[in-house]
A and B are shown apart, each in its own frame.
Chain A
Amino acid sequence: MSEAIRLYVRWVDTFNRWVGRFAMRLIFVMAALMLYAIGSRLFFGAPVNWSMEMSQFLLVSYFLLGGPYSMQMGSHVRMDLFYSQLSARRRAATDVFTILFVMFYLGVLLWGGISSTEYAWSYNQKNYTSWAPPMWPVKAVMTFGIFLMLLQAISALFKDVAIARGKPIE
C-alpha cells in the first residue's frame, strides 16, 4: 500500500468520524426544536409553522451526514448466509468487488444531488409551504453527505484490498 492511500484512508476516516459525531447530536437539535414548537402552541397559543419542515431538513442531514460514520461502525446489515461462512480475508476479497456496485449507486446519487442543488440554486427554488424556505441549502448538505459516503466507500475499498492482500492498514 502506498503512502498516499494510507493517508487517504486515515484522513477520510477521521473526517467522517468527526462529521458523524456532529450529525449524531442533531437528534438533540430536532428534539429541542419540536419541544419549542409544542410549548409555543400549547402554552402561548402561537403555532410555529417552520418547526416541522426544519425537523425534516434535520432528519435528512442526520442520516446522510451520519451515514459514513455508521458505515465505519458496521451498522449496515448484510445478507450474511454465505458471507458469514467466509474467512476474514475472503470476505474482504468479495467486498472489493461488490463495493463497486455500492460506489456506482452512490455516484448516481451524487450526480443527481449536484444537478438538483444546481437547479435549486439558479432558480432559487422554494418549498411549497407557508414558510417557503429556499431549497438549495438543505440540498447542498444532502449532496455533501452523499459525497462523504462515497469517500467512505472508497476508503472501505482500500482497506479491503489491504486485508485481502494480507497487509491490513493500521
Chain B
Amino acid sequence: MSSELITLFMFTSMLLLMATGQRVFGVIGFVGAAFGLWLWGQGSAELPFNATIQVMNWFPLITVPFFVFMGYMLSESGIAANLYRMFHVWFGGLRGGLAIGTIGLMVLIACMNGLSVAGMAIGATVALPQLLAHGYDKRMVTGVIQGGSSLGILLPPSVVLVLYAMIARQPVLQLWLAGIMPGLLMAALFTIYIWWRCRRNPEMGPALPPEELAAITRSEKLRLLSAGLLPLGIFGAIMSLFMTGVTSLVESSVIGALLATLAALFTGRLNSKVLEETTRNTLGVSCMFLWIILGALCFSSVYDGLGAVRAIEALLLNTWDLSPWTILIMMMASFVVLGIFLDDTAMLVIVAPLYIPLVRSLGFDPIWFGVLYTITCQIAYITPPFGYNLFLMRAMAPPEISLSDIYSSIWPFFFLMIATMVLIMVFPQIALWLPQLYTGR
C-alpha cells in the first residue's frame, strides 16, 4: 500500500471511530498506536510513550494549567459578576446595550483566559440570566455568548496560539500580538451586528427601563469602572513583563494566576470552595487538553514516518500545479470541514505539521497563517456537531433555551467570523501590523 493510501486509511478509521462517541484522546491514540504496530511491528511499541516525552519537552505547555486557572479563578470568585455589572450600568441605557456590553465583557475575560471555557462559564451563568430577564431575544444572546467567548483563543494569552507556536516554531509573543487586532476587529463586527439588529428590531434588545436606570447612582457607576481596570491591569502586568523579557512565557503565566488569586483574596472573595472548584476544574480541562495532545502526537508521528508530508506537498505543488491562493483556501476549507469531526487541539497537532511547511514554501507568513487557523478554530468551537462552546452551552444554559435555539443562534456569528477571516486574508496587515511594530523598534 502506498503511503498516501495508508494516510487516507488512518484518517478514515479515526473519523469512523470518533463517530462512536468514545473519548477523543483514546480514539486518536488508538489509531496511532495500532497503525504504528501494524506498519513497523514491535519496534514502534514505544512510539505512543515517546509522545509523553515530547509533551514534557514542549515546556510552553506548562502555561496551560495556569492560564486555565486564571480564567476559572475569575469566574468562580465572582469577580466576573462585577465586571458584568459594570457593562450593565454603562451600556444598559442603549438599545441592545446589554448584549453589546456582554461582548465587551467577553473581550476583557479573553484577556485573562487561555481557552474559551471560562468565558462560556461566565457568559452562561452571569450574563445570560440577566439578558433573558431583561427581555432580550434568547437566540441572539445565546449566539453572543458563544461567539464572544470564542475570542478567548484569539486574544492573548491564548493557549491555542502557544500550541501553534510550538508546532510552527514561531515566537509566541509575535503570534499573540498578531491576534490582538483581528480579535478586536471581530468583537467590533459582533457589536455592529447587534446594534444593527436591535435598531431594526427594537424588541430583540430593549433598553433598560427608566426606573432601573434612575436607580443607578453616579458613584456606583464610577466604582464599577474600577472593577474593569482589574483584568486590564493583570493583562498589562503579564504582557509587559513578558514583552520586556523580565519573565519568560511560562513564568508570566504563573504571575497571571498569582495576580488573579490575589485579586480574589483582596476583594474578600477567596474561600475554600472557590479554591476547590478552580483547582478541580483546572485539572479537568488541562487533562482533557494534554491527553488529546498526547494521542494526537502519537497519530501524527505515524504518518510523519510514512512521509505523507512530502507526498502531499508534491501532489499539490507539482502534480496538480495549483496556485498558492487556491492551496491556501483549500487548507482553510479543510480546517473548517475537519473541525466538524475533530476537536481543534487534535486538529492542530495532526494537520499543522502537514500544512506549515507547505505554507512556508508557498511564501506565506506563518504568523499570519496562525491567526487564520485560530479563527477556523473559533468557527469549529461554535459549529455543530462538534463544538466545545456548543457542548458547554448545552450543559450550562438555563432550561428555557432549547437545543434548536442554541444551534440556530450561531449562524450570524459564523458568518461574521468568516468575514473577519476574509478581511485578514485580503489585508494581512490587520494581523501583522502589531508584531511588525514590536520588532521594528
Tell whether B388 is near chain A: CB-to-CB under 8 Å.
Answer: yes
How far, in whole Å, are A153 and B30 apart by their CA atoms in the complex? 14
Do B286 and A62 touch (CB < 8 A)?
Answer: yes
- When the two chains form their complex, are residues B46 and A116 in contact, meaning their CB atoms are under 8 A apart? yes
B291 contacts A by Cβ under 8 Å: yes
A24 at interface, CB cutoff 8 A: yes
Q: Does B414 contact A (CB under 8 A)?
A: no
Report the separation of the CA atoms of residues A80 and B29 in the bound assembly, to the nearest whole angstrom. 18
Let me know if A142 is at the binding interface, CB within 8 A. yes
| Shortest Cβ distance from residue B299 to the other chain A in the assembled complex, whole angstroms | 10
Proximity bits, A77-113, B CB within 8 Å = 1, else 0: 1111111101000010011011101101110110111
Provided the pairs A77-B391, A83-B20 are in contact, do residues A56 and B25 lie with their beta carbons within 8 angstroms? no
Distance in Å from the Cβ of A73 to the closest Cβ of chain B? 5
The answer to whether A34 touches B250 (Cβ under 8 A) is yes
B283 pairs with A69, CB closer than 8 A? yes
Secondary structure class of chain B's binding surface, majority of residues = helix
A76 touches B279 (CB 8 A): no
Contact A24-B279, Cβ < 8 Å, known A31-B254, A105-B33: yes
A116 touches B49 (CB 8 A): yes
Q: B246: CB under 8 A from chain A?
A: yes
Asked if A59 contacts B20 (CB within 8 A), the reply is no
Q: Are A82 and B21 in contact (CB under 8 A)?
A: yes
Contacting pair A76 B258 (CB below 8 A) = no
CA distance A106 to B30 in the complex (A): 8
State whether B284 touches A59 (Cβ < 8 A): no
Within 8 A of A (CB), among B324-374: 341-343
**A38: chain B residues within 8 A (beta carbon):** 247, 251, 254-255
When the two chains form their complex, are residues B55 and A42 in contact, meaning their CB atoms are under 8 A apart?
no
In-complex Cβ contact of A70 among B50, B279, B288 (8 A): B288
A164 at the interface (CB under 8 A from B): no
CB of B317 closer than 8 Å to a CB of A = no
Contact A66-B287, Cβ < 8 Å, known A83-B21, A105-B26:
yes
B385 touches A (CB below 8 Å): yes
**Across the interface, do B291 and A63 meet the contact criterion of CB distance under 8 Å?**
yes
Known: A30-B254, A102-B30. A76 touches B20 (CB 8 A): no
Q: A24-B280, A79-B19, A94-B22 are in contact. List 12 more A-B contacts (CB 8 A).
A: A23-B283, A31-B254, A70-B284, A75-B285, A76-B288, A77-B288, A105-B29, A108-B33, A111-B45, A112-B49, A113-B52, A146-B52
Interface residues of A (CB under 8 A from B): 20, 23-25, 27, 30-31, 34-35, 37-38, 42, 52, 55-57, 59-60, 62-64, 66-67, 69-71, 73, 75-84, 86, 91, 94-95, 97-99, 101-102, 104-106, 108-109, 111-113, 115-116, 138, 142, 146, 153
Q: Can you report 16 residue pairs joining A to B where beta carbons are below 8 Å apart?
A: A27-B279, A30-B62, A35-B258, A38-B255, A60-B55, A69-B283, A70-B288, A70-B291, A76-B25, A81-B386, A83-B21, A91-B21, A108-B45, A112-B47, A116-B46, A116-B50
